[in-house]
Structure 1
Amino acid sequence: MKLAPHLHRLGNDIVASYLIEVPEGITLIDAGLPGHWNDLKAELAAIGRPMSDIRGLVLTHGDGDHIGFAERLRRETGVPVFIHAADAHRVRTGEKPKTAMGPARLGPTLGFFAYGIRKNALRTHHVSEVVEVADGDVLDLPGAPVIIGMPGHSPGSISVHVPVADAVFVGDALTTRHVLTGKVGAQPAPFTDEPDTALASLDRLAGVSASWVLPGHGAPWHGSPADIAAAVRAAG
């Protein structure tokens, strides 16, 4: 789905990833669930771009509902997969701390897991080869993505600022739809390793200039990063 010039979303408000399209090629942000491979192919067909135009995939962190088709893309096309060094082990192995689920409602929780099953979440493959990135890196990819370290949800959680798309991609640094309660609006994301650290990281987001803030779960936020950071703090 096209959101704005250069900017497309794969998936939906339950699980989303993103595609940045510029003349010199395509950069992907996150890889959703394995079944989103078909969504990727459909979006490429809709914009008339071949799979070979993808130059890189940047992961906001290493959790399973963000790495879905990453290994398939890397293996079948040779596209490099980028992730913060602090989450490299997680994306290769799936090892992570056990965090409390927190509040949940039966309907939204069942809907989240049912959607995962439909999109082949149980077939997620870890990524065997990655390119490690660090806070402040500007990647040599279409759109020149800028890495913003935002630890908290995981040690290597990042946001990705892409000025040409006027957007910042935040992964699970925050959410606009809680996958376990169904509550909509800016708020902290569930399954966060270090909630206090995640809230502190919002200071990094507030200084970014963009008109779109794009989470891995929930509706796109068309507004300033400073405003959504304030809203998450208020909700948290």
Structure 2
Amino acid sequence: MKLGQHLHRIGNDIVAVYLVVTDEGVTVVDAGLAGHWGELTAELAALGRTPDDIRGLVLTHGDTDHIGFAERLRRDHGVPVYVHAADAARARGEVKTKPEWGHAKVGATAGFLWYAARKGGLRTTYLTEVAEVADGDVLDLPGSPRIVGMPGHSPGSIAVHVPVADAVFVGDGLTTRHVLTGQHGPQPAPFTDEPAQALASLDRIAELGATWVLPGHGTPWNGGTQEAVRQVRAAGH
């Protein structure tokens, strides 16, 4: 799905993956679930591209519903996979987490679990090799993505700011559709390690001035970073 001149999304409001498309190639942000591979190749084909045009995959964090096809892309197509150093072990499956579920509604939760299962979420292929990044890094990839440290959801959660796409990809730094309740609108994401820290980290994106705020779960938000952060904080209190 095309969102902007350089901006595409695959997946849906339950689990999303983003592509930054430029003349230099493609940067992928997050890898969703293993079953998103077919959607990735179809979206690329519609653009006249193939997986070999992908120059890099940037993970917003190392959770299983964000690394789905990452190892396949790395192993079969030689695409480097970037993740914050503090989440590298998580992406390799060396650290297993047991997050708090918190408030949930049966219908929304069942829909999330069914979709995840249908897209291969029950079988996780962890990364065997990653390239570590840190806050402030600007990667030599299409769109020149800049890493913005956003600890809270996980120790190595990041946002990825791509000015050419007027977008910041926030992973689970916030959500616009709560996968456990179905509630829409900018709000804190579930399964967060340190909720207070995650809210404090929102300061890092509030002043970026990007129009698009693109979460791993939820509707793409084009109301700007400041308003997204305001609504998340209002919902979090």
Q: Do they fold alike, i.e. is TM over 0.5?
A: yes
Cα deviations by residue, 1:108-130 (Å, 9 ceiling, x for unpaired)? 10000000111011122000100
Q: Deviations over 1:90-147 (max 9, x none)?
A: 0001524422100000001000000011101112200010000000000000000000
Tell me, yes or no, if structure 1 residue 145 matches structure 2 residue 135. Answer: no
Query: Deviation string for 1:65-114 (max 9, x for gaps)?
Result: 00000000000001000000000010001524422100000001000000
Q: Quote the Cα distance in structure 2 between the aligned partners of 1:16 and 1:29.
A: 9
Q: Deviations over 1:159-218 (max 9, x none)?
A: 000011010000000000000000001100000000000000001010112110000000
Q: Is the 8 A contact 1:94 1:126 kept in 2?
A: no
Quote the Cα distance in structure 2 between the aligned partners of 1:183 and 1:229: 16
Q: Does 2:233 match 1:233?
A: yes
TM-score normalised according to structure 1 size: 0.99
Q: Is the 8 A contact 1:62 1:94 kept in 2?
A: no
Structure 1 unaligned segments of length 5 or more: list them.
Answer: none
- The amino acid that maps onto 2:108 is P
Contact in 2 for aligned 1:175/1:188 (Cα 8 Å): yes
Distance 1:97 1:118 in 2: 22
Q: Give the residue type in structure 1 aligned to 2:85.
A: A
Secondary structure at the counterpart of residue 92 of structure 2: helix
TM-score (norm 2): 0.98
1:67 maps to: 67
Task: Name the residue aligned to 1:154.
Answer: 154
- String of CA shifts for 1:2-59, please: whole Å, max 9, x gaps: 0111100010000001001000110000000000000000000111112211000000
Compared with structure 1, are the counterparts of its residues 24 and 142 closer, same or farther at alpha carbon in structure 2 (3 Å cutoff)? same
Task: Give the equivalent residue in structure 1 for 2:180.
Answer: 180
Q: Which runs of 5+ in 2 are unaligned?
A: none
Runs of 4+ residues over 4 Å off in structure 1: none
Aligned to 2:101: 101
Match of 1:83 in 2: 83
Aligned to 1:10: 10
CA RMSD of aligned residues (A): 0.7
Superposition deviation, residue 226 in structure 1: 1.0
Distance 2:118 2:38 in 1: 12
Alpha-carbon distance in 2 for matches of 1:101, 1:121: 17
Q: Does 1:29 align with 2:29?
A: yes
SS at match of 1:168: strand
Q: 2:164 & 2:209 partners in 1: Cα distance?
A: 11
| Paired letter, 1:60 | T
Task: Output the amino acid matched with 2:176.
Answer: T
Change (3 A) 1:223 1:196: same
- Counterparts of 1:73 and 1:201 in 2: how far apart (Å)? 30
